Structure 1
Amino acid sequence: MEGLHLVADLRGCDPAQALMLRPETLRALCVQAVAEAGLGAVAELFHRFTPTPGSEQSGITGVVLLAESHLAVHTWPELGAVTLDVYVCNLGQDNSSKAQALMDRLVAAFAPASAARQALRRGLA
């Protein structure tokens, strides 16, 4: 079950960009980025939350289940923030470079002013 878990906290994202507000736009990016990275999408779900009173903006939570594990994206347009979570198992082959390519593609798409990234090796005894 050895794998790589990548997370990124993005700040200073344009809150008006479609990726922050439109589930279908975010879904299209995520599914395309997964395929470009050479990972296998098996299912996905993207949900836009109801705006809070007094606000026109609301965020999206999206998940792509991968044959190798998962991708999760959470947007907060009211904060100009995004969190990304990419986890891949390395059973049978090392998928670490694919996970990194997926994360790089998503970070670039949101064009944040700053990005704090972390990587965790999982399943090591």
Structure 2
Amino acid sequence: MRKVLGRHLAVDLYDCSFENLDNMDFIKTAIYAAISESAMTPLEFSCHKFEPQGIAALMLLSEGHINLHTYPDLGYAAIDIFSCEDQARPNVMIKILKHYFRPGKIKTTTIKRGDFGSERDMRPRVKVSVAPLRRVRDTGARVLKFLSRPK
């Protein structure tokens, strides 16, 4: 018997390009590339462009779904991936999306879904990774702040 029915990954991408986040063709290409590399089967795709900016996209999969909302003015994309098949590889999907969007920072929260008693709660597992250039920029800002503090 399976321990859980599926995995739900909530992915936050920060410091992404405005142009990419507001481009429907780019979003569709990125999603299809991620699906083809992750051993998932697409069923139906839907996408909507908001005015003045932003996109919502949804791909139904045989093994779950992926949905994405972009906030170009903030350089931010919110992505949800649900996978209910053991052979599906949602982590590969995240890797491909990271390659396309090139975020400065990515935060991934994983939740086990359909847990029938093996876990006491739905405590998510969170992973944060920061691009090397952002890490250097943030460290430089902290050093300057430290050096400029009153003595």
TM-score (norm 1): 0.84
Identity %: 27
Tell me the secondary structure at the aligned position of residue 56 of structure 2: strand
Q: How does 1:113-124 map to 2 (within 5 A)?
A: 113-124=104-115
Match of 1:111 in 2: 102
Residue range with higher mean Cα deviation, 73-82 or 21-30? 21-30
Q: Is the 8 A contact 2:9 2:110 kept in 1?
A: yes
Q: Matched residues in 1 for 2:26 and 2:16: separation?
A: 15
Q: Does 1:95 align with 2:87?
A: yes
Higher relative contact order (CA 8 A, sep 6+): 1
Q: Does 1:78 align with 2:73?
A: yes
Tell me the secondary structure at the aligned position of residue 102 of structure 1: helix
Segments of 5+ residues of structure 1 without an aligned counterpart are: 52-57
Residue identity matched to 2:100: A
For the pair shown, the structure with the greater C-alpha radius of gyration is: 2
Could you tell me how far 1:113 is from its partner in structure 2? 1.1
1:78-117, CA deviations, whole angstroms, 9 ceiling, x for partnerless residues?
Answer: 1110111110103xxx135x11111121122111111111
Q: How many pairs were matched up?
A: 113
TM-score (norm 2): 0.70
Segments of 5+ residues of structure 2 without an aligned counterpart are: 117-151
Q: How does 1:24-103 map to 2 (within 5 A)?
A: 24-51=25-52, 58-90=53-85, 94-95=86-87, 98-103=89-94
Tell me the secondary structure at the aligned position of residue 75 of structure 1: strand
Coordinate RMSD, CA, aligned: 1.3
More helix by share: 2
Q: Could you list the structure 1 runs, at least 4 aligned residues long, displaced by more than 2 angstroms after superposition.
A: none
